[in-house]
């Protein structure tokens, strides 16, 4: 380590050292430090000069003293001194030169020192600048790192990086106003909101992309959910087939869910579709970190509402399965959208509340209902409505499993059922109308056993004979309209109950609507149509209508029992009554009356052809043509036209027909234009009555039928009586002529008497009869 130069305050000692130097080199070595010290201490070389001068004066005084005492020595000393002086002057000149040289060196050294000081200041500045730059670089590196994280979509890391930058670097610098990086820190601090906004916008961009993909995936998600629900329904049906008790439990019930515990299936994450909620959670987390949760919730809710509006078409086609326009596509999209909403609410309850989700759900359901209602105006096919109901039921069961309220949709199904019932009734009404109008009203002929079994299976008909006794072709009592109507009735019942399959909460409504609709169809389209055809003049058709009415009455009774067995447990108990059953029963009487009318009309026509010559000169040998035709007609209708009628109805018709024929035949001689009847005329009438009596006697149950001819036979016997006065004797009349009307008997006797004895005898007889019985 270099030795520091000695500082001199008193140059006297220094001068002594210089003078006492033994050599020039030593002299110079002693002089230079003194000169340097004098130079560096602000003008003190003068002091050195003064010290040297003082030394000279002291030496001169000493020399003078020595010279006074030692002259020779003095002179020698003077000479020596002169030499010294000369040397001193020379030395002084050298010193001055050296001083100038040293002064110049000192100035250069001072300049160098100043330069060194300046260099040290610059170096310090550079060091400070480097430190500030390094700090600034750390800040910029943190900023760049945050933006790099943004580019890498690591938004939360970027946000955390900005927060660390702010807390660790910017805030301390900004608080120190004299800090070198204050301006940079302030600039970056002001840019942080923009960076946070960039992060927020980037997150929202990713979220919007996610929302778009979710919207595009919604329909497929709904399709997968529908497929899974359909599989669950199939499994539930299989369980019900194995255990009938399970039919009391519907899909989505606790029992069904317990059974399906082993069949885990995540609609949102499976082999077909996977919905990743990471972008949503990240966006939510970022906005929570930014303190913008409320704004984010509002923006997200608005976006979902817009997506809901975009999801809903302006119209929907119920009969077209084109992609994007069918009801299935619409409901699948709605289901997928609602599932995403419910999953979002469960995964992020702070983002989506149940109120928000239910509000969107109700809005979508109302829109769907409005679209379907509008489309229903153009639907005239019940099968289409059945498909619509099936899709809606699948939709309801799927969304019910996600905890959504389906009351609105259930109520809409009730309206859909009303439309369905109306279309069914309209369609089957047309079918019944066509069947009734195109029927041949002839007994149905069956050619094979297979055909017979088919007809019997679809009809409510009980055959008294066993199958082994049947021979084919076989004639059934009813016409073909009856089995055709039975088939349609069964289809009508099945079509109604098809609507209750899978999901329908108003089964009792189906029961009551079916009863009313079926009753209306049976009454208006079958019974009334048959009654209208009773105006036909064709007896065979009227008879067939009567037979059909009887079978329809049986069908009505069977249907009442069938409706009791088929009705749901929620329907009211008690019997089921169809007014059509009573209508069929009562209109059988109408058909019977119509048969009576036609038969009696035919009898009237035949009797009107009778040509009796009441005053014939001689009697006929054969029965009249009209009576033969009449008996042949009665025989034919009994063996052909009326053959299929029940025995009691046939007997009733025969009874009425014979009674009417007897009355009409009796009216022949009582006709006002017949004035006289001779015995030949009476004989002709008696022969025809006998022919009719013999015909009736050949019939089954002749004993009862012959009673209809009693009045006619007794009237003819009266006309042939040998003693007509017996008629006026009440005792005798009751025995022989008890069925003869008193007035008619008198008229007949009057005509026969006129022909035999003249008018006076007849008038007298009539007077006697009148007085006896109080007649005028």
**Model confidence over 272-321: pLDDT tens digits?**
777 888 888 888 877 777 777 788 888 888 888 888 888 888 888 877 65
Over residues 710-721, the mean pLDDT reads: 82
Q: What is the pLDDT of residue 236?
A: 61
End-to-end Cα spacing for the chain: 189
Pair (491, 350) in one structural domain: no
Q: Is residue 6 part of a domain?
A: no
pLDDT band at 324 (very low <50, low <70, confident <90, very high): very low
Over residues 155-178, the mean pLDDT reads: 61
Q: What is the pLDDT of residue 366?
A: 92
The domain containing residue 279 runs over which residues? 202-405
| 658/102: higher pLDDT | 658
CATH number of the domain that residue 472 is part of: 1.10.357.30
Tokens of 306: 């817009």
Pair (316, 454) in one structural domain: no
Give the integer Cα–Cα distance in Å for 423 and 436. Answer: 20
Indicate the burial class of 14 (C-beta count within 10 angstroms; 0-12, 13-18, 19 or more).
buried
Pair (392, 259) in one structural domain: yes
- The total number of structural domains that make up the chain: 4
Give the integer Cα–Cα distance in Å for 207 and 344. Answer: 13
Q: Is residue 603 part of a domain?
A: no
Pair (49, 107) in one structural domain: yes
- Long-range CB pairs of 320-329 (<8 Å, 24+ gap) are 327/372, 327/375, 327/388, 327/391, 327/392, 328/391, 329/219
In the predicted model, is pLDDT for residue 175 greater than 60?
no
Q: Is residue 179 part of a domain?
A: no
CB 30 within 8 A of CB 24: no
CB 357 within 8 A of CB 305: no
Pair (280, 231) in one structural domain: yes
Flag the least confident range among 123-137, 138-152, 172-186, 553-567: 172-186
pLDDT band at 763 (very low <50, low <70, confident <90, very high): very low
Question: pTM for this structure?
Answer: 0.67
CB 607 within 8 A of CB 630: yes
What phi and psi, each to the nearest 5 degrees, are found at residue 317?
-105, 125
Q: Is residue 160 part of a domain?
A: no
Pair (223, 312) in one structural domain: yes
Pair (489, 562) in one structural domain: yes
Residues 6+ apart with CB under 8 A from 508: 567, 568, 570, 571, 572
Q: Is residue 52 part of a domain?
A: yes
**C-alpha neighbours within 13 Å on the C-beta side of residue 314:** 0
Q: What is the pLDDT of residue 174?
A: 58
pLDDT band at 498 (very low <50, low <70, confident <90, very high): confident
pLDDT band at 775 (very low <50, low <70, confident <90, very high): very low
**Model confidence over 339-381: pLDDT tens digits?**
888 888 888 888 888 888 888 889 989 998 998 888 888 888 8
Give the integer Cα–Cα distance in Å for 706 and 651. Answer: 12
Flag the least confident range among 253-267, 439-453, 566-580: 253-267
Q: Is residue 272 part of a domain?
A: yes
Q: Is residue 743 part of a domain?
A: yes
The domain boundary, picked from 546, 562, 591, lies at 591
Pair (294, 225) in one structural domain: yes
SS3 260: coil
Pair (308, 356) in one structural domain: yes
CB 66 within 8 A of CB 73: yes
SS3 448: coil
Pair (714, 569) in one structural domain: no
Q: Is residue 193 part of a domain?
A: no
Q: What is the pLDDT of residue 458?
A: 87
Pair (651, 583) in one structural domain: no
Give the integer Cα–Cα distance in Å for 91 and 19. Answer: 12
Q: How far is CA 675 from CA 99, 316, 667, 725, in A?
A: 204, 88, 13, 20
In the predicted model, is pLDDT for residue 673 greater than 80?
yes
- Eight-state DSSP code of residue 726: G
pLDDT band at 265 (very low <50, low <70, confident <90, very high): low
**Model confidence over 619-638: pLDDT tens digits?**
888 888 888 888 888 888 87
pLDDT band at 323 (very low <50, low <70, confident <90, very high): very low
Pair (657, 549) in one structural domain: no
- Eight-state DSSP code of residue 57: H
Over residues 455-464, the mean pLDDT reads: 83
Give the integer Cα–Cα distance in Å for 728 and 113. Answer: 188
């Amino acid at each position: 380590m270099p030795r520091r130069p000695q500082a001199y305050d008193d140059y006297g000692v220094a001068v002594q050292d210089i003078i006492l130097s033994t050599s020039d080199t030593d002299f110079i070595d002693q002089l230079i430090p003194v000169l340097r010290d004098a130079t560096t201490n602000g003008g003190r070389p003068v002091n050195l000069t003064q010290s040297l001068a003082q030394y000279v004066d002291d030496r001169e005084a000493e020399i003078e003293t020595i010279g006074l005492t030692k002259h020779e020595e003095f002179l020698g000393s003077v000479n020596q001194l002169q030499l010294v002086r000369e040397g001193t002057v020379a030395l002084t000149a050298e010193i001055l030169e050296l001083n100038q040289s040293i002064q110049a060196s000192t100035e250069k050294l001072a300049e160098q020192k100043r330069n060194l000081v300046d260099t040290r200041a610059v170096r310090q500045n550079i060091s400070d600048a480097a430190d500030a730059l390094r700090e600034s670089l750390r800040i910029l590196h943190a900023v760049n790192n945050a933006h790099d994280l943004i580019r890498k979509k690591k938004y939360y890391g970027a946000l955390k990086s900005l927060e660390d930058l702010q807390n660790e670097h910017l805030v301390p610098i900004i608080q120190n106003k004299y800090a070198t990086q204050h301006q940079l820190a302030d600039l970056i601090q002001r840019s942080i909101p923009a960076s946070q906004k960039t992060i927020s916008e980037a997150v929202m961009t990713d979220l919007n992309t996610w929302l778009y993909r979710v919207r595009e995936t919604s329909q497929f998600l709904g399709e997968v959910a529908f497929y899974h629900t359909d599989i669950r329904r199939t499994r539930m049906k299989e369980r019900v087939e194995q255990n009938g008790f399970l039919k009391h439990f519907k899909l989505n019930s606790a029992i069904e869910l317990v059974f399906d515990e082993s069949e885990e299936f995540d609609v949102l994450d499976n082999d077909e579709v996977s919905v990743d909620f990471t972008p949503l959670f990240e966006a939510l987390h970022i906005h929570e970190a930014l303190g913008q949760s409320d704004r984010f919730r509002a923006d997200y809710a608005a976006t979902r509402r817009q997506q809901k509006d975009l999801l809903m078409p302006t119209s929907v086609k119920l009969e077209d399965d084109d992609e994007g326009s069918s009801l299935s596509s619409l409901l699948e999209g709605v289901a997928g959208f609602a599932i995403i909403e419910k999953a979002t609410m469960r995964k992020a309850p702070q983002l989506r509340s149940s109120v928000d989700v239910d509000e969107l759900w109700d809005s979508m359901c109302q829109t769907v209902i409005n679209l379907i209602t509008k489309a229903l105006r153009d639907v005239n096919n019940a099968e289409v409505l059945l498909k619509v109901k099936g899709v809606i039921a699948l939709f309801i069961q799927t969304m019910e499993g996600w905890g959504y309220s389906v009351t609105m949709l259930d109520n809409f199904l009730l309206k859909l059922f009303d439309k369905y019932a109306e279309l069914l009734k309209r369609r089957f009404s047309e079918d019944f109308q066509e069947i009734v109008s195109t029927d041949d009203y002839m007994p149905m002929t069956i050619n094979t056993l297979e055909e017979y079994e088919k007809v019997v299976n679809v009809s409510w008909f009980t055959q008294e004979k066993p199958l082994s006794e049947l021979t084919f072709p076989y004639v059934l009592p009813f016409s073909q309209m009856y089995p055709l109507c039975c088939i349609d009735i069964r289809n009508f019942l099945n079509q109604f109950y098809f609507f209750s399959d899978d999901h329908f909460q108003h089964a009792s409504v189906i029961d009551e609507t079916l009863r009313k609709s079926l009753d209306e169809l049976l009454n208006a389209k079958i019974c009334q149509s048959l009654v209208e055809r009773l105006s036909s003049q064709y007896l065979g058709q009227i008879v067939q209508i009567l037979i059909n009415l009887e079978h329809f009455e049986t069908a009505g009774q069977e249907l009442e029992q069938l409706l009791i067995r088929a009705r749901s447990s929620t329907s009211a108990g008690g019997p089921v009554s169809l007014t059509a059953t009573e209508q069929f029963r009562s209109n059988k009487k109408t058909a019977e009356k119509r048969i009576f009318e036609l038969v009696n009309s035919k009898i009237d026509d035949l009797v009107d052809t009778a040509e009796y010559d009441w005053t014939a000169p001689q009697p006929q040998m054969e029965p009249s043509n009209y009576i033969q035709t009449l008996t042949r007609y009665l025989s034919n209708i009994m063996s052909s036209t009326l053959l299929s009628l029940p025995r009691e109805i046939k007997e009733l018709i025969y009874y009425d027909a014979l009674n009417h024929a007897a009355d009409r035949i009796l009216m022949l001689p009582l006709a006002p234009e017949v004035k006289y009847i001779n015995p030949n005329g009476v004989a002709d009438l008696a022969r025809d009555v006998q022919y009719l009596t013999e015909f009736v006697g050949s019939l089954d149950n002749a004993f009862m039928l012959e009673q209809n001819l009693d009045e006619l036979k007794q009237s003819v016997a009266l006309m042939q009586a040998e003693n007509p006065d017996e008629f006026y004797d009440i005792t005798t009349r009751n025995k022989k002529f008890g069925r003869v009307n008193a007035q008619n008997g008198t008229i007949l006797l009057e005509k026969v008497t006129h022909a035999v004895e003249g008018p006076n005898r007849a008038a007298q007889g009539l007077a006697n009869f009148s007085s006896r019985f109080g007649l005028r």
